[in-house]
Structures are given as C-alpha cells and as structure tokens.
Amino acid sequence: MNKKIKELKKKSIELKIDVIKMLDKAGSGHVGGAFGMAEIFTLLYNEIANIDPKKPDWKERDYILVSNGHICPIWYAILANIGYFDRKKLDKLRKVDSLLQGHPKINIPGVENSSGMLGHGLSQAVGVALGLKMKKMKNKVFCIMSDGEQQEGQTWEAAMSASKYFLDNLVGIIDYNKIQIDGNISDIMPLGDLKNKYEDFGWMVLDVNGHNIEHLLSCFEFVNKIKKQPTLIIAHTTPGKGVDFMENKFEYHDWTDDGEEVKEALRQLRQKLSDLY
C-alpha cells in the first residue's frame, strides 16, 4: 500500500471513530450508511474535489451535495476534520441550538444542500450543475445518493433532466449497500439493474468497490474524461463497514446504543487504525 493510500485509509477510520463518539453523545443517529461511505467522503474532500474549507462560498469550488442526508454524521465529521468548522461542534450533534442538525441544512459551512426527504438531492444537483453551465463555469458537482432512495420517482425525473441538459459537470454517486431502514432492498422494493436503468436514461455508469481507494481514485480520474453526459458511480459498499457486528445489518441503519456497543465499536476501529501504523 503506498503512503497516500495508507493516509487516506487511516483518515477514513479516524472519521468513523468520530462518528461513533458523536452518535454516543447524541444518543441516536445513522451509522450504517455513514460507515459505508467513509472512504468516498475522505477521498472527495481530500483528493478529488476542488475546495477550500477556509472559503466555503468560493465561487470556483466544486459542489458536494448529499441527497441521503441521514448519513450526515460522516459528512459533519469530514467537514470538521478539514476545517470547515470547529471540531467541538461535533459534540452537539442533534442537540438543541446546535449548528449540526439531525439532517443537514445549507447554513452549515461546507453543506451545499438541505436534505432529509429522500429523492430530492439529484434534482438539486441538476439545478446546481445547470446553473453553473448557464454561468459558463467549470466547477464539478458531486451528488451522493442512497440506493434506497432510487425508489423515489423524483430521482428518475432528475436523471432524465440531467441527460437532457448534457450535464457532464455532474457526477452522481450511489451508496449501493443493498439495505434500507426496514430491511433488505431486494425484499422491500427491488431496484432491478441500476446500471442499465441509468444508461437508458443517458448516463455513463461506472461500477466500483466503494471501499477500494485505488479503484475509486482511478474511477474519479476517468470521470473527468466523460463529455456531454452525466456520470454515475455505483459504489458497492458494506453498510457498517469496519465494525463486525454492524456490517450488512439493516438494524444498524440507525442506532441507539446501550453503551456496550460503543466500547466494542471503538475497540475494533482503533485496532484497525493501529494495524495501519
């Protein structure tokens, strides 16, 4: 493993540790999806997107939108980690008067879109990408979505409009972890062949292992070459990745703990972190 990959890997585990501590203090929150996307958030904010945490309103920045806002603990953790706001704010997640709401709002530095109702984010991202095209600006727009919200009709309205307007500045990323709040996607409402569906809607679609940093890096590199159509990255992920009793369990989509699980989760994550040193 080269040094850069190792550093990114370490950072993604540190973020998970932050998330466990945040959720422990908050008393509730969504952990499964947050853990599954730790590597992707780490990569986007450290390697891929053109951003400056000191200037959240910088006009040349790339826009990172999150449609499945319930995974915000990992979003808040990375934003604090790279300096969008003070880390102390993480302790107040979901508390009254806190900047960090249970679902993201655009007044939080670094947060580009409000969410909390699934299926809205891709439309918002289309709006941002279209607005940038109107202004003849080159910024990229990333939109993270869940697989569960592909069940929302609005997602497909948005997918259609992205290819109508040739939004090659738009990159959708689906966290394809195959669970949703009440069970497995295949039981609740099967999605069929997502890749084919998006291709039929005019998108370039890439499949990738969402935890493999090397593959993700080359995938994002390839995205820059796509012209005249939007790109979708289907990131195959393991929900709860990194803590054995959480992995692939829809019961850990959201989580309220008795205290024992926190200790065990932290132990496992710290072990993984020290293995990298």
Partner 1 sequence: MNKMSNYFLRDWKNESKLEQKALRDGFGEMILKLGKDNKDIIVLNADLPGSLRVKKFEKELPNQFVQVGVAEQNMAGIATGLEIVGKIPFITSFAAFSPGLNFSQIRLAAICKQNIKVVGSHYGLNVGEDGASAQMNSDLGMMKSLAGITIITPADYNQAMQATKLISEMKGPAYLRVTRAKFPVFLKPDSEFEIGKAQKLIKGDDLTVIATGSMVYETIQALLPLIEDGLSIDLLNIHTVKPLDKEIILKSAKKTNKVIVVEEHNIWGGLGESVARLLGEKHPVEIKCIGIKDTFGESGSHRDLWSKYGLDRKSLRKQISSLIF
Query: Which of 81, 115, 163, 237: binder of partner 1 (CB under 8 A)?
Result: 115
Alpha carbons 64 and 142: distance in angstroms, whole number: 5
Query: Which of 105, 215, 249, 272: binder of partner 1 (CB under 8 A)?
Result: 105
| One character per residue 30-49, x = contact with partner 1 (rule: CB under 8 A) | --------------------
Q: Cα 86 to chain center, whole Å?
A: 21
CB of 69 to partner 1, least distance (A): 10
Query: Which of 12, 81, 123, 237: binder of partner 1 (CB under 8 A)?
Result: 123
Taking CB under 8 A as the binding criterion, the range among 129-137, 203-211, 225-233, 255-263 that sits at the site for partner 1 is: 129-137
DSSP 116: S
Query: Which of 2, 96, 97, 153: binder of partner 1 (CB under 8 A)?
Result: 153
**3-state DSSP assignment of residue 145:** strand
Does 50 engage in binding with partner 1 (CB under 8 A)?
no
Taking CB under 8 A as the binding criterion, the range among 18-26, 34-42, 123-131, 269-277 that sits at the site for partner 1 is: 123-131
CB of 154 to partner 1, least distance (A): 4
**Binding residues for partner 1 restricted to 180-209, rule: CB under 8 A:** none
Q: Name the token pair of 18.
A: 């932050």
State the DSSP H helix or E strand holding residue 3, giving kind and residue range, or none if neither: helix 3-26
Query: Which of 3, 96, 97, 107: binder of partner 1 (CB under 8 A)?
Result: 107
CB of 127 to partner 1, least distance (A): 2
Q: Is the CB of 61 or the CB of 211 nearer to partner 1?
A: 61
**Rg of the Cα atoms in the chain:** 18
With CA atoms as reference, report the closest residue to 240 among 229, 228, 248: 248
Q: Is the CB of 53 or the CB of 116 nearer to partner 1?
A: 116
With CA atoms as reference, report the closest residue to 84 among 106, 49, 54: 54
Asked if 97 and 174 touch (Cβ cutoff 8 Å), the reply is no
Taking CB under 8 A as the binding criterion, the range among 7-15, 20-28, 132-140, 251-259 that sits at the site for partner 1 is: 132-140
Strands 183-184 and 179-180: antiparallel
CB burial readout 125-149, b (16+ within 10 A) else e: bbebbbebbeeeeebbbbbbbbbbb
What are the residues whose beta carbons fall under 8 Å from the beta carbon of 59, sequence distance 6 or more? 137
Residues of this chain that bind partner 1 (CB under 8 A)? 63, 65, 105-107, 112-117, 119-132, 134-135, 153-154, 157-158, 160-161
